[in-house]
Amino acid sequence: MILFVGTIQTAIVVVIFDRSDAWRLELNFKLFTYAYSGIMCSALAFFIQSWSIKKKGPIFASAFNPLCTVIVGITEPILFQLNIYVGSIVGIAMVICGLYSMLWGEARDKKASARILPI
């Protein structure tokens, strides 16, 4: 629902502010490809996120959101030959360390709670 509302808002802004032909849609294979990939990617992401929340809990799923930034930071210089800066490398290292420490702390907390309250 969030993606649908965002699409509607973006369409309204484009209709109001951009009068060029770049946004004109034609019924062809490109339109089908864009719609299909958008719907399928959104559905797949929603499914994987829901599944991981069901299996591991909401903290586990939300902890991996910054990992997308790390993946972009690593693949962008490789695929698009863009410069990578020291700040990007430091940021990637900090995200990885934070993710690891969060997962380590969560595992440690689960062990401690399992010893206190056996289920």
Query: Are 90 and 115 contacting, i.e. CB atoms less than 8 angstroms apart?
Result: no
Using a cut of 0.85, tell me whether the model's pTM lies above it: no
The Cα 56–Cα 50 span in angstroms is: 10
Asked if the model's pLDDT at residue 65 lies above 70, the reply is: yes
Mean pLDDT, the chain, rounded, equals: 83
Q: List the structure tokens of 65.
A: 């959101």
The predicted pLDDT at position 86 comes to 92
Asked if the model's pLDDT at residue 118 lies above 70, the reply is: no
Q: What is the pLDDT of residues 29-56, one digit of tens each?
A: 888 888 888 888 888 888 888 888 898 8
The Cα 19–Cα 43 span in angstroms is: 31
Query: 3-state class of 105 per DSSP?
Result: helix
Query: Are 25 and 32 contacting, i.e. CB atoms less than 8 angstroms apart?
Result: no
